[in-house]
Structure 1
């Protein structure tokens, strides 16, 4: 039995938020919302585009100010500035049970892709700016995998009601 509901999003680094939004709208994706650090005039650090109900493309401009910054190749993540595929996210209905299971199997769980702070239980997981409970793991090739549980009225649920 799977621990996951499905693929939640794929995240891409982009050079221009506006150009990327326009491109993916032409492809047929729907703009949902964006989050900003540093005020209204700042470039968004994350933009959500809807692929289908419950499935999203997350665009992260490389020059935007982010809450945690773009990894600098320290810790467990290798990031190349020319890399566009950044990470993917899996949605679970019970992140606490998932964390416990992963830790019991010897898989390291972290608060972010920089691997600086470990998660040993639900109490260590973080809240994302979108209202999701979040933890991270790193696959054997260094690919960050975001684990997400939507709790209550998340930004995704607000903009993608059933």
Structure 2
């Protein structure tokens, strides 16, 4: 039977000891969607948002979020990420922006939390930059799509 990795035998929260784990190449992909109204979609399509290139701002924010994951999630290990990518795709017909993130490193622990944090922060940045046009936006579908490396190897949704 599986157990939660961050709970000690006494039922207390603890940071997992990865000292004896092998260094492997680890990668994780995550996604999230920001749903918005037609006016916000149109402003993005035309590149006419008064705050400038909102995709560039969201991309940079997502990368920074991935790098700060250990500061935000109490039991995450600080990691030396070797790659963080944040891709944003306007899906106008669906009334949304799709965000896909990828984090990678050679290390002893996975990067799923970093990929999820990147997607979250990029989504929140889009929300912040577009909320004057559409305060009713929704952020949905945050999830890990795929992870590789470590003893469990490949996992995909």
Greater fraction helix: 2
Q: After TM superposition, is the score higher than 0.5?
A: no
Higher relative contact order, structure no. (Cα contacts within 8 Å, ≥ 6 residues apart): 2
User: If the length of structure 2 is used for normalisation, what is the TM-score?
Assistant: 0.23
Which of the two has higher C-alpha Rg? Answer: 2
